[in-house]
């Protein structure tokens, strides 16, 4: 096999019915999977990013939310088709591997690991802010800066201890089992939605239409910039597709969960944005006093009392817990899929026989994310998460087009309507939003991508499982498992030999 053939070799697809792989249990329901999507999306966008996006777009942030939602919606349709055709763990990485080739899949993996790692750590830091406000409102005790901020934060401390504790709690839940994590997340998401509706009802009592007068103060460029910052919050759609190996009836459940989560997210985003913007001029969102626990501060201002802000802080603490839980889950399952394919050391794909979870993998993720959350200020890196999410969405849209051409008869539980217009529009929308990101975001992204691809060229391609599954001409060896996930005698023999 030539170098070019090796780089662009694809995981074989010979069946649409894929069994649970290498010990992962299929015990997540469609409702729980939908709550995964909502849990990883709603929370970040309203508790953190809105106060970053409003100063860019002004009241036109509503258009930014819609623009990001439309782009995500077009991509969600493409996700739904690929998820129903290739229902395995690994999300966009696995889809790229099956449609575009190994080196592209590793590039996508770099995007996914970046977006999940940075967003999990950054959200954990934000959770610390809301928890500190909650403790102060309830007990009157102000959490010392030394233990609620890292050494490089604007107000320097020693370590962001609450953020580290949150990461540890999420790791504990994930190690116990996927079904336990899914149930806990579903409960937290329902509480989150109730609290956000509570916020909107109270905020609307102070609604002033004059706050929307200067609707687009920074022009279309400001809206595009805000949409780029907002877009990363739709990482929840990707998180849904990381559960392909653990959801019941994945070919039906994945498309339903993806589209249902998208609908819930857009409605909640617009409801909260309209009610929040109606309470104060858009310029007030850049006030440093609203930088921490911003929505809670708005309620305190509207009511002149601390108790509504305390209620919202409780909801935020629960809400952000669920975001961190699901994004950590997504990252561990992507690493599991990469390790299973031999492109990472096998320890990443090792499943505990009792809990049926990738314990080693989860511990490694918790340590890395915990260090980032505890010591590194990541709130300025939201755009890095957006660029990773946007590129992943573009790859999914391209993957739909490629798979329709290469495997037209592959059974699909869902097909993108209006093909090929919808995938093409999805690509155009994502590229448009990418054009609004800062130039230095691309430099950081390219630096990270270079590191991951260097690892692939030096180590990954030599240890790829396709080295033992494919013949020299690139065809599947007779008896080998499909998608590196079906368990059969050939795979068992390979595993027994340490491949």
Domain parsing of the chain, residue ranges: 3-492
What is the pLDDT, as a whole number, of residue 452? 94
Euclidean distance between CA atoms 413 and 391, whole angstroms: 25
Q: How far is CA 499 from CA 236, 319, 491, in A?
A: 33, 41, 9
211 Cβ contact partners less than 8 Å away, ≥ 6 residues apart: 59, 277, 278, 279, 280, 281, 282
Would you tell me the crossing angle of helices 359-375 and 161-176 to the nearest 10 degrees? 170
Burial of 245 (0-12, 13-18, 19+ CB in 10 A): buried
Tokens representing residue 422 in the block: 């919808």
Give the number of other Cβ atoms within 10 Å of residue 355's Cβ. Answer: 17
Nearest to 42 by CA among 337, 389, 461, 323: 323
CATH number of 3-492: 1.20.1740.10
- Count other Cβ atoms within 10 Å, centred on residue 79: 32
Q: How far apart are CA 300 and CA 312, in angstroms?
A: 10
SS3 487: coil
Helix spans in 341-438 (H): 359-375, 382-406, 421-434
- pLDDT tens digits, the chain, 499 residues: what are they? 678 888 899 887 744 334 444 567 778 889 998 998 888 888 766 776 777 788 888 999 999 988 888 888 888 889 888 888 887 777 789 889 988 999 999 999 998 888 888 888 888 887 887 788 788 878 888 888 888 877 877 777 888 899 999 999 999 999 988 888 888 889 988 998 998 898 899 999 889 999 998 899 888 888 988 887 787 777 777 788 787 778 888 778 888 888 898 889 889 988 988 998 998 888 888 777 665 567 777 888 888 887 887 888 788 888 888 888 988 998 999 999 999 899 999 999 898 888 888 999 999 999 999 998 888 876 656 667 778 888 888 999 999 999 999 888 888 888 998 889 999 999 998 898 888 777 888 888 899 999 999 999 999 999 998 887 765 555 555 444 433 333 333 233 334 433 3
Residues with Cβ < 8 Å from 222, sequence gap 6 or more? Answer: 56, 57, 58, 60, 216
How much is the pLDDT for 480? 47
C-alpha torsion angle, residues 163, 164, 167, 169 (rounded to 10): -100
Yes or no: say if 127 and 188 are a contact pair by the CB < 8 Å rule: no
Paired tokens of 269: 């985003």
Distances (CA, A) of 24 to 97, 176, 337, 441, 466: 20, 13, 11, 36, 21
Quote the pLDDT of residue 368. 93
């Amino acid at each position: 096999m030539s170098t070019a053939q090796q780089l662009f070799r694809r995981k074989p697809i010979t069946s649409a019915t894929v069994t649970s792989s290498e010990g992962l249990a299929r015990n997540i329901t469609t409702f729980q999977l939908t709550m995964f999507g909502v849990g990883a999306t709603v929370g970040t966008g309203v508790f953190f990013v809105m106060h970053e996006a409003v100063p860019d777009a002004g009241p036109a942030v509503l258009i930014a939310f819609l623009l990001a939602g439309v782009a995500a919606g077009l991509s969600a349709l493409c996700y739904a088709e690929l998820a129903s055709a290739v229902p395995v763990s690994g999300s966009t990485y696995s889809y790229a591997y099956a449609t575009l080739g190994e080196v592209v899949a590793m590039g996508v993996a770099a995007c996914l690991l970046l977006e999940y790692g940075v967003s999990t750590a950054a959200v954990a830091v934000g959770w610390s802010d809301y928890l500190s406000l909650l403790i102060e409102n309830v007990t009157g005790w102000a959490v010392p800066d030394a233990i609620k901020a890292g050494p490089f934060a604007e107000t320097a401390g020693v370590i962001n201890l609450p953020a580290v504790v949150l990461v540890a709690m999420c790791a504990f839940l994930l190690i116990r089992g996927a079904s336990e994590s899914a149930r806990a997340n579903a409960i937290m998401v329902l509480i989150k939605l109730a609290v956000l509706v509570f916020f909107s009802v109270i905020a609307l009592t102070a609604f002033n239409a004059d706050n929307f007068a200067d609707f687009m103060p920074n022009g279309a460029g400001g809206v595009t910039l805000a949409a780029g910052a907002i877009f990363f919050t739709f990482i929840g759609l990707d998180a849904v597709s990381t559960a392909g190996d653990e959801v019941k009836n994945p070919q039906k459940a994945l498309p339903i969960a993806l589209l249902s989560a998208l609908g819930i997210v857009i409605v909640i985003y617009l409801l909260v944005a309209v009610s929040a913007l109606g309470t104060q001029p858009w310029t007030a969102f850049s006030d440093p006093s609203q930088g921490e626990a911003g929505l809670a501060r708005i309620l305190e201002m509207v009511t002149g009392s601390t108790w509504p802000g305390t209620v919202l802080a409780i909801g935020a603490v629960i809400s952000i817990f669920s975001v961190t839980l699901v994004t950590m889950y997504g990252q561990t399952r992507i690493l599991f899929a990469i390790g299973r394919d031999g492109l990472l050391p096998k320890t990443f794909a090792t499943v505990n026989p009792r809990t049926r979870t990738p314990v080693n993998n989860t511990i490694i993720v918790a340590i890395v994310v915990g260090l980032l959350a505890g010591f590194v200020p990541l709130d300025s890196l939201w755009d890095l998460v957006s660029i990773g999410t946007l590129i992943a969405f573009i790859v999914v849209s391209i993957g739909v087009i490629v798979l329709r051409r290469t495997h037209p008869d592959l059974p699909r539980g869902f097909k993108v309507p209006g093909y090929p217009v919808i995938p093409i529009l999805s690509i155009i929308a994502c590229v448009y939003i990418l054009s609004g990101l800062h130039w230095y975001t691309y430099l950081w992204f390219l630096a990270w991508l270079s590191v991951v691809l260097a690892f692939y060229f030096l180590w990954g391609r030599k240890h790829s499982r396709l080295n033992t599954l494919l013949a020299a001409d690139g065809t599947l060896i007779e008896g080998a498992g499909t998608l590196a996930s079906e368990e059969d005698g050939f795979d068992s023999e390979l595993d027994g030999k340490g491949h």
